[in-house]
Amino acid sequence: MKIKLDEGRNNLREGRTTGIGFAFLKKEGEDFFRGVQPISPCKDYLNDVVYTERTGKSIGVYGLTTKKEGIFDESAHVAVAVCPNQSGSKHSEFASELKMLSENMPKVEKLMNIIEDKIGIKQKTKLANASENLVYAHISSDWTTSTWMANMWAFLFRNFLYCADEDPYKALECGEISCDSINAKKVVKAIEKIAKGGLPKQDMASFGSDSYSIHGAGVINYTQS
């Protein structure tokens, strides 16, 4: 498998600058993928790509300008890596996160699949180590039907990475390490809401031309809708 990454991360004005980062990929050939955005630990950039892919409308926000590339069909492709800061300096948890990214994919995949069963996603997430600091994820297009869903997938991945617990809800609460843990209860609320009511319907037209609202329309925003 070959993955060509977008090298434009220095153009981004990230809300989170280090740690586990994500980018959508476009499949351009047999076992060849290209990043349609830079890998960033600010997972809200995924929201921007989902909006553009689902509406066809390009937006520019916090250093990323999107354009529709037709990257979603019955599935989607995501790259995951541990990101230093934009200058290349490694944060204190870089080595431990790199080790987890190398070793913990079977556990993360299992926990993700439990959640997918719970919310009715039939095509399960599959993860593979593409290189020392690069994971390839093959996911259902159900995770790309709204900014809320794509954002939640990234939240789950990042938090499941930290905990050995086989109960996904308990795994989300490993707060000693993951700074996302403060929002764990809100994400559990979102999962339960989707499990009862089905995949969320998002009125993307309601954003109008407000790129910043699109960028901020993550899973925490969904629990408040």
User: Which pLDDT tens digit goes with each residue over 117-135?
Assistant: 999 999 999 999 999 999 9
Q: Are 13 and 184 in contact (CB under 8 A)?
A: no
pTM score: 0.95
Domain boundaries, the chain: 2-223
Structure confidence by residue, pLDDT tens digits, 84-99 = 999 999 999 999 999 9
| Pair type for strands 19-29 and 32-35 | antiparallel
Structure confidence by residue, pLDDT tens digits, 26-49 = 999 988 999 999 999 999 999 999
Comparing CA positions, the residue from 136, 149, 153 lying closest to residue 34 is 136
Buried b (16+ CB within 10 A) or exposed e, 159-186: bbbbbeeeebbebbbbeeebebbebbeb
Amino acid present at 71? I
Q: What is the pLDDT of residue 179?
A: 63
